Structure 1
Amino acid sequence: MPRHPSYAPSVSGMSSSLYSALAERLASRPGEVYPLHVGDTWMEPPEGCRMEDFRVAEHPGMHRYAPVQGMPGLLEAIVERVRAKTGVATERSQVLVTTGATGALGAIIGGLVAPGEEVLILAPYWPLISGIVTAFHGRPVPVPFLDCEGPEALVAAVRERLTERSVALYLNTPNNPSGRVLPRGWVEALAELARREGLWLLSDEVYEDYVYEGEHTYARALAPERTLSSYSFSKAYGMAGNRCGYVVGPEEAVAQLRKVSTHSFYSAPTAAQLAGERVLRGPGDAWVARASARYRDTGTKAAARLGVPPPQGSTFLFLDVSAHLDEGGLAGLLERCVERNLLVAPGPSFGPFPHHIRLCFTCSPPEVVLRGVEVLAEILRG
């Protein structure tokens, strides 16, 4: 007999709140608030690349559907950028424009992971990746790496969790939430492991431009035959609301991803693609240079006030607060924060980290962020 109408078990157990049930309370509190739990930027996109800069008269059809793969001009601009950045031969057929990197990773998981198969995820991780794998009926397998002292230890940690159901390995560098930049030797070791074990390598590179210490390593340059790399205009150019990103990988794999994207979001927003092409061909690099300098300055000051090393990249600090927890645990600390108009993201959103918190140092203007950091420092000291 048909089952009674219900919900997919893989989804019904997922949390509907990514970070904190306390967020709604912050909106109703008087005085200045510090929403340091949100991974966004206070900066507007470059002038000339904002939605207000596009008119139907200059762009007929800008409110119609775009081609499912992406608009030709944007595809060409992406190909030129990827070739220059990675040194890897790239053609339009290897690119898919998506609804942000979230849409890119959804298409990747939907196209490559069968129900019940496992995706090894370096942890801490961007929190949506675990939910995306689960939503497509796969199994996310966290691989903690913060305590690894070298590539050998990292490879050993991955091998320990490998099973016959493992099909892919996900890495995010510069890392959200830890601010770590994986050294080249570590990425090389992961690429070689993926090749030996027959794994797809899923490289989340949305913070590629925000490296303050060390150098970003493009995984696709090391294993192009099995790497799918995701990128985002959201993080690169302050365009989170536009919902536009892209994925680059082997032509055959991208063709499968296109099937998933067509049957989920169909195509990325047309106006967002126009903005994406303009920013790549215009003021994007100069904007990134200014943003990166400001981000680095704020992140360094925030880290110094909290007594932790400065971030190597991305826009986050990930703090072990175990020494500052009382009988109320992490929930009690989060409650004390919201009482002071401050929100930070709880560690369990990013993997098996019950004693950590994440803060974003770019979500508000620097002076506001640093006042919020001062509040957090007082709470931790108290």
Structure 2
Amino acid sequence: MTSATPSSERRVSARIGAISESATLAVDAKAKALKAAGRPVIGFGAGEPDFPTPDYIVEAAVAACRDPKFHRYTPAGGLPELKKAIAAKTLRDSGYEVDASQVLVTNGGKQAIYEAFAAILDPGDEVIVPAPYWTTYPESIRLAGGVPVEVVADETTGYRVSVEQLEAARTERTKVVLFVSPSNPTGAVYSEDDARAIGEWAAGHGLWVLTDEIYEHLVYGDAKFTSLPVLVPALRDKCIVVNGVAKTYAMTGWRVGWVIAPQDVIKAATNLQSHATSNVSNVAQVAALAAVSGDLEAVAEMRKAFDRRRQTMVKMLNEIDGVYCPTPEGAFYAYPSVKELLGKEIRGKRPQTSVELAALILDEAEVAVVPGEAFGTPGYLRLSYALGDEDLVEGVTRIQNLLAEAKA
């Protein structure tokens, strides 16, 4: 038995050393490395639209590159014209009326989430995190000094948690509840009634709510996106909305997100950002300005393609013995349960966990998927359907063929 490494001998701080690598980015990086080495890997790992950023957005960025005023520092909290446009876009798209002074422009959604938690959490404050969760949420909470408290939902409820579950997790240290609809990794969308019930429960207990609306425009069928502070106006003074251009406008690499919150929280988060990164790239901010000021025609076209791929993927996954995949109502992910396959023999191996099963699928079928352990729920896989139709069918067919060999 070895003792813990003394802090004087530790080369990396305990706080940073405890952070795990982003599992989704790690899977994507491995898939790309294998493809570069000549293997025909199909990647379902990254949550990234396969469409190019619309031309009018790119042209706005090109013009910004040539404008000397964007070659200099700008306000740490974001270009004033972009903050104003984000406020207008928020009113247009969700009916939530906010002032530009309630907006902070960040380097992508991840920075928005971390800075929001950092602005309101003190050491030991608890945040209720519905699981399956996106990998960055608990790490951001821990970095901000908080304690993530997981509340697990499974396929039997469509991966949606109930007010009763949230209440059972609430303690005297609970400060925030995380609410994400549509969800990454499951594609779950809460009904208006269920969302309102959660919002009213949070407001009734004086809790903060952080709601991530990055997938607001990617909903399918009868599902409907609803913004929590619009449903429950009593939350406005303790609600933080996180959003960005990445998913709606196929701009994952541009790194522009934002926080909408009460002015005191925005001031605190802006102070943090002024020391962490200063302003977001001006060229990317001008591109984002063009995006949020324009119409939603581009996302409407993407949504049609995602809807078609969603139905194809879910149908094919549910044809596999031992796999059950609820139909996602939003985002661009499927989250099938593979618990019945664990422990079965597949090409001489008996994967006991979804991590081992994902590794087997990559090695034997040359398909990259993300295991459920990355999202707090072992026994599942996440597959993004934000890739071309042919690759999607080929990739899932390979998985079908491999898992058809499973035997007791």
One fold, TM greater than 0.5? yes
Q: Which moved more, 1:252-261 or 1:120-129?
A: 252-261
* CA distance, structure 1, for counterparts of residue 285 and residue 392 of structure 2: 31
Over residues 21-44 of structure 1, what are the superposed CA-to-partner deviations in whole Å (9 max), with x where a residue is unaligned? 666654235342211111111111
Contact 1:51/1:271 (<8 A) preserved = no
Give secondary structure in 2 for the equivalent of 1:48: helix
**1:13 counterpart (13, 18, 21):** 18
Q: Are the counterparts in 2 of residues 66 and 269 from structure 1 also a CA contact under 8 Å? A: no
Tell me the TM-score normalised to structure 1 length: 0.92
Structure 1: distance between partners of 2:117 and 2:132: 19
Does the Cα contact within 8 Å between 2:355 and 2:373 map onto a contact in 1?
A: no
Q: 2:178 aligns with which of 162, 167, 170?
A: 170
How has the CA–CA distance of structure 1 residues 342 and 58 changed in structure 2, closer, same or farther, with 3 Å as cutoff?
same
Identity %: 26
CA contact (8 A) 2:129 2:149 kept: yes
Give TM-score scaled by structure 2 length.
0.87
8 Å CA contact 1:114–1:137 kept in 2: the answer is yes
Displacement after TM superposition at 1:224 (Å):
1.4
Q: 2:374 aligns with which of 342, 346, 349?
A: 349
* Structure-1 separation of matches of 2:254 and 2:150: 30
- Paired position in structure 1 for 2:70: 62
Q: Which residue of 2 aligns with 1:305?
A: 316
Greater RCO (Cα-Cα under 8 Å, separation 6 or more)? 1
Contact 2:126 2:173 (C-alpha < 8 Å) held by counterparts:
yes
The residue type equivalent to 2:357 in the other structure is L
1:245 matched to 2:257? The reply is: yes
Equivalent of residue 168 in structure 2, options 144, 160, 163 = 160
- Do residues 97 (structure 1) and 128 (structure 2) align? no
Per the alignment, residue 388 of structure 2 pairs with 365
- 1:217 maps to 2:221: no
Match for residue 376 of structure 1?
Answer: 399
1:49 to 2:66 alignment: no
2:43 is the alignment partner of 1:35: yes
- Against the structure 1 CA distance between its residues 309 and 61, is the aligned structure 2 distance closer, same or farther, given a 3 Å change threshold? same
- Please, which moves more after superposition, 233-242 or 149-158? 149-158
Alignment equivalent of 1:286, drawn from 289, 294, 297: 297
Q: Unaligned 5+ residue runs, structure 2?
A: 1-5, 319-324, 344-349
Q: 1:96 is aligned with what amino acid?
A: L
Q: Indicate if the aligned counterparts of 1:19 and 1:346 stay in contact, CA closer than 8 A.
A: no
Distance 2:81 2:25 in 1: 40
- What is the alpha-carbon distance in structure 2 between the residues aligned to residue 99 and residue 199 of structure 1? 27
Name the CA shift for 1:376/1:118 in 2 (closer, same or farther; >3 Å).
same
Correspondence for 2:356: 332
Matches within 5 A, 1:311-322: 311-322=328-339
CA contact 1:168–1:201 (8 Å) conserved in 2:
yes
Amino acid at match of 1:377: Q
Equivalent-residue separation in structure 1 for 2:398 and 2:51 (angstroms): 23
- Which range is displaced more, 226-235 or 11-20? 11-20
Q: Structure 1: state its 5+ residue gaps.
A: none
Residue in structure 1 matched with residue 146 of structure 2 by the alignment: 138
**Correspondence 1:234-273 to 2 at 5 A:** 234-273=246-285
Q: Is the 8 A contact 1:20 1:345 kept in 2?
A: no
When the two chains are superposed, the root-mean-square deviation of aligned CA atoms in Å is 2.3
